Amino acid sequence: MKRERTVPMRSPVNWTVLGLVIERSSYGWELWTRFERLYGDVMPTRNESNVYSALNALRDKGLIEEVPGSRTTQPDTNRQPKPHYRATQEGIEAYEAWMFAQMREHHRRSREFARQLGAFAQQPQTALGILARYEQACLDEKGAAIPTVTEFPSRFVPGLGDNLASVYGRGIVASTLGWIEYARREFGALADKQALAR
C-alpha cells in the first residue's frame, strides 16, 4: 500500500496557533485575541483569518481535533456555535519536535553570526560599527520587552508563557550585551594594533 506523502508544516503562525491550543483548548476568536496579545509584536498578522486558516491546516494534519459537543447551541441564545479545538497526542508530539528544531536553529544562527563578524578582523572599525548597531537593537528590544507581572494591564492575567518570555528576554539581552562588550574589546585591540602599525 502506497503511503500518502505529507508536506511538512512550515508556517510559524500555524505552529504558534497549535501552541495556543495545547495551552488551552478554545475557539477561533479567542485564539486570535490570545495570538495578538502574546505574539502580535513578533509575528504580526493582518487579521483573524490567519488563525482560522491555521486551525483548518492543523485539523487537516490531525494535530488538533474538535471538542465533541462544542458546536451545540444553547437554547436561550441565537449565537452561532463556536467549535472548540484541542490538541491531539500527535499534535503535542509534533509541537515538541518543532520546538527542539527551533532551539537548534537559534543556536546555529547565533554561532553563525559570531563567526561572520570575525570576517572583519582586518576592518575592526566596521565590526565596531556593527556591534554598536547590534547593541542599540538589543537595548531597543529591551525597552519593548514583555511587561513584568506588575506592568500588565489589569484585564490581562499574565500566563506562564508571558513570564517565561519576559525572564528569557531579560537574560538573553544581558548575555548578549556582555558578549558585545567582549567583542568590542577584541576589535578595539585590533584597531589599536592597526593604528600603531601605520
Q: Write out the chain's pLDDT in tens, 198 residues.
A: 444 446 678 889 999 999 999 998 999 999 999 898 888 878 877 788 999 999 999 999 999 999 987 776 555 666 677 889 999 999 999 999 999 999 999 999 999 999 999 999 999 999 999 999 999 988 886 555 444 444 444 444 557 777 777 788 788 888 888 999 999 999 999 999 988 888
Regarding pTM above 0.85, the answer is no
Q: Is the CB of residue 175 less than 8 Å from the CB of residue 142?
A: no
Distances (CA, A) of 124 to 77, 94, 119, 178, 188: 69, 44, 9, 18, 7
For the structural domain made of 12-92, what CATH number should be given?
1.10.10.10
Residue type at 143? G
CA dihedral (76, 21, 9, 69) positive or negative:
negative
